[in-house]
Structure formats: structure tokens, C-alpha cells
Copies of this chain bind each other. A is one copy, B any other.
Amino acid sequence: MAKEKKLVEQITSMDEDFPQWYTDVVTKAGLIDYTSVKGCMVLKPAGYAIWELIQKQLDERFKATGVENVYLPMFIPESLLQKEKDHVEGFAPEVAWVTHGGLNPLQERMCVRPTSETLFCDFYSKEIQSYRDLPKVYNQWCSVVRWEKETRPFLRSREFLWQEGHTAHATADEAEARTIQMLNVYADFCEEVLAMPVIKGRKTDKEKFAGAEATYTIEALMHDGKALQSGTSHNFGDGFAKAFDIQYTDKENKLQYVHQTSWGMTTRLIGAIIMVHGDDSGLVLPPKVAPTQVMIVPIMQKKEGVLEKAEELRTMLAASVRVKLDDSDKNPGFKFAEQEMRGIPLRVEIGPKDIEAGQAVIVRRDTREKTIVSFDELSEKVNEILAGMQDDMFERAKKHRDENTRTATSWEEFTDILENKQGFIKAMWCGTEECETAIKDETGATTRCMPFEQDNLSEVCVHCGKPAKKMVYFGKAY
């Protein structure tokens, strides 16, 4: 039992040191590796396969709403980046600059895209002439680069994978409707696929995207009580259209500016999965994004007939789930620990005694609950337990989120929650950036969003006591 013990002992407990636990899981579950390029990571097979499942299911949801995929260049000439004032101020300090092509210096330096609003605007300014060319509802899957000082696997790295949708519409109403539509796609995806409840709301002006008129966000709560911004959807109004001269001729033959949106989700979602569902044995993957949903572990596999039966069950299960058989020469205890570390939702144990009894043992990763089931019913039961696990994981995460969402109607309550409990704080706010900044400076908590579902908790701002304008979710965030 020495070896499997070792594998488990290598993880720090999450209550003891959450950041270290996170780093342990990320590396021991084989999701990521560090590279010679500071701040950039390798997405290893186990990590990339989660991203593939996210991509596939999100892309299907996009296409169902009429999104078309495209690919634009990774480089942005400096003059193009500078066309929209707020945007360049937001991004210029953190881009990587290409100055040479081959052996020659470039006439104009280019940055590696930190996001592609400027490129899409340049493209749309040529593509859009008439109302017949609208709407444009394009998306691209790619990587972007932001030269961050501090990096953490999945949560903040100098290069990361994402999708970025960029749309152009005839009217302001249509742009606003698309902005909200995509936020809802994100929220439903997080809840239905990642089993992660989210709060939908609008960012304050201080926290909105560089160049946006309005930024909407979905905010999730991690196991340690910190918030994670999990997806954003921006309405640009006609600001970019004016900066890039994107005009169309309407039905009355008049020139009009288009109204634009953009929206993005990133590999940061994998970090969210880890921090919402993981435990002290490692990763716990929601079945819908588990690259392997079932691991079959044979017991006493050298005994005649065991591996054959295990392989037979694998073939049978493969018709309906993503299943693997661990027939390596490690001992079963080690295999169990490894399957748990990697977050594989179900384990099916099968040994000589089981075969004799015509049954196998199913073990759930999240609850460790064991179910003994006959071979005939195995397939049906596996699918049933996977579906149940997906639902239970969402309910458990929601319970945790709700238990860690507190209301503060006084500044004393507010600081007390942050010092002793963490989590989301719902509180009233006067609407000034002055107060917002003061709260951040004094406590480290930021405005996460002004939720769509507003309560009237009190008449006054939790910080300054002046008349309140909005209920806000506050929290310390990744």
C-alpha cells in the first residue's frame, strides 16, 4: 500500500493551504505543466481533453443561436490597436510586441492579440455596406496573450485559450439583446454542463471592459469563498463603429453606424471546475466534461478470466459512455488513488469473486457511494449514476454558494464577514466610483456585479451611508 499512499499524501489538504492544494491538483492530475517560457503553460492531454469537451458543447450552443466561426490574424498593427482610445489604454500596457519579421525590422510594430475587437472592426468596416449584410454574428476559437506579471495555472497566464464572439447589428436594441442572449448561453452552460451555479449581473463602470458601454458577467463562488469571473458579454454601442467607421446603408438609404457586442470564455473555466468541485483526494469532474467518465479497475487481474471480463464490460459500456480499462501492472489501491486524483466520475471494480457472483461494484468519485450491480444492469446503472452525479454536483455547489452568500447592511457586518467568513456579500451601494474604490482599498473586496435580481436590503450605501442606488455582490476575487 506504500505507493498509493504516496500519491495521495502528495496533495496538501484544501483547508490547510488552498492555493497549494490547487497547484497540487493541477499538476498531479496531469492537467498542466510549466514551461521554459515564463508565465506560459503546457495543457497536457488530461487538461486539453477537458477543454475539447467544453469547446464542443459551447460551440454547439453558439451555433444553435446562429453563430458562425471565423479566424482572424494573431497580429494587430499598432495603429489599429490605437484607434479606440479606452481600448488601447486598457490593453497596451500588457501586450507582447513583435518588432522583427525574419532578419528585418518591421516598418510598424505589431502586438500579439490580447483580444480582437480592433481586428474584427477593421474586417467589418470592409465587409459591411448594406443592412443586408447585417447582423454579423462571428466567433473565433484561438489563444490570446496578455503579459501579466503574476500568473497561476488556468486562472491567469500570459497565453491562454478562449473563444471570442464579435457581432455587429443594425440597432442598439438588437445589440443589447445579443449581449444578454450570450450571457444566458454562458450561464446555462456553466450550470448545465459544468455543474457550477453563477450569478448574472452587470459590471460597474469601474470594472467594465475597456471600450464597452456595458459589461455583463457571470460570477461563481469557489470552495475557498473567493469569487471567479467566469464569462463576460459586452455591449459596445456604436463606440467602436465610430472609431473604425463601420457604417451601413439602411432601408431608407441613409448611412448608419452599426452596434456591436463581444463575449468570451476561457480555459479559466477549468480552474473553476477544480475549485468548485475538487476535494482532498484531487479533482472531481462533472460527468459532462469528464474525458473519461468511467475507469474499470480489475482486482487480482492475473487470475484467469478477470481481464477478459473487464474488457468485455469496457466494450459494453463504450456504447454509451467514455470508458477506460486500467490494466497496467500497478496494484488496485494505486489505481484507485490515481482515478480519484484525476477526477474520473465513476470507478467500476471487478474481481474473481464479483465475476463468480455475476456483478461489479460501482464507486462514485464525489460521494464514494458504492453500488453493487449485476452485469446485465451495469450499463443502465452507470448512466443513471452519472446523470445523478451531474445533478448532485450542481446542487452541492449551489448549497455551498448559497450558504456562503451573506447580506451586510452595516459596514461592521461587511468587514466582519470578510474577516471571518469570506464568500459573496450582498450589500447596497451608492453608485459612486469613490465608494467602490474605498471599499476595495480598505478590504480587498471588489464589486463582482450588480445582479439582475435586485433586492432592496436597505435605503443607504453600506459604506458611506448616502442613498443607495443598487444592490451589489461584493467579494474577494481571483
Measuring CB to CB, which residues of chain A are less than 8 angstroms from any residue of chain B? 33, 35-37, 40-45, 48-49, 51-52, 68-77, 80, 93-103, 110, 112, 119, 122-123, 126-127, 138, 142-143, 145, 147, 158-159, 161
Contact A73–B122 (Cβ < 8 Å): no
Docked complex Cα distance between A44 and B68 (Å): 9
Interface pair B94/A37, CB less than 8 Å apart: no
CB-based nearest B residue for A118:
B36
Bound-complex Cα distance A456 to B49 (A): 49
Chain B min CB distance to A70 (Å): 5
Residues of B within 8 A of A122 (CB): 35-36
Chain B residue at smallest Cβ distance from A43? B71
Do residues B110 and A45 form an inter-chain contact, with CB atoms below 8 A?
no
* Cβ-defined contact, A100 with B96, below 8 A: yes
This protein's copies in its complex: 2
A119 to B96 Cα, complex, angstroms: 19
Name the distance in Å between A347's Cβ and chain B's nearest Cβ.
21
Q: How far is the CA of A40 from the CA of B77 in the complex (A)?
A: 12
A102 touches B98 (CB 8 A): no
| Residues in B neighbouring A52, C-beta threshold 8 A | 69
Given known contacts A35-B122, A69-B45, A69-B49, A93 and B103 CB-to-CB distance under 8 angstroms:
yes
A35 contact set on B, CB distance < 8 A: 72-73, 119, 122-123
Please measure, in the bound complex, the distance between the C-alpha atom of A236 and the C-alpha atom of B126, giving whole angstroms: 45
Do B143 and A42 touch across chains, with their CB atoms under 8 A apart? no
Among A70, A102, A161, chain B packs the most CB atoms within 10 A around the CB of A102
Q: Compute how far the CA of A71 lies from the CA of B75 in the bound complex, rounded to whole angstroms.
A: 20
Cross-interface CB contact of A40 among B36, B48, B73, B100, cutoff 8 Å? B73
B33-A123 in contact (CB<8A): yes
> In angstroms, how far is the closest chain B Cβ from the Cβ of A113?
10
- Note all chain B residues with C-beta closer than 8 A to A98: 96-99, 112
Contact for A36 among B36, B71, B80, B101, CB less than 8 A:
B80
Q: With a CB–CB cut-off of 8 A, which chain B residues contact A76?
A: 37
Contact between chains at A69 and B97 (CB < 8 Å): no
A112 touches B112 (CB 8 A): yes
Let me know if B70 and A44 touch, CB within 8 A. Answer: yes
Cross-interface CB contact of A33 among B103, B127, B159, cutoff 8 Å: B127
Bound-complex Cα distance A159 to B98 (A) = 14
Residue pair A159, B74 in contact (C-beta under 8 Å): yes
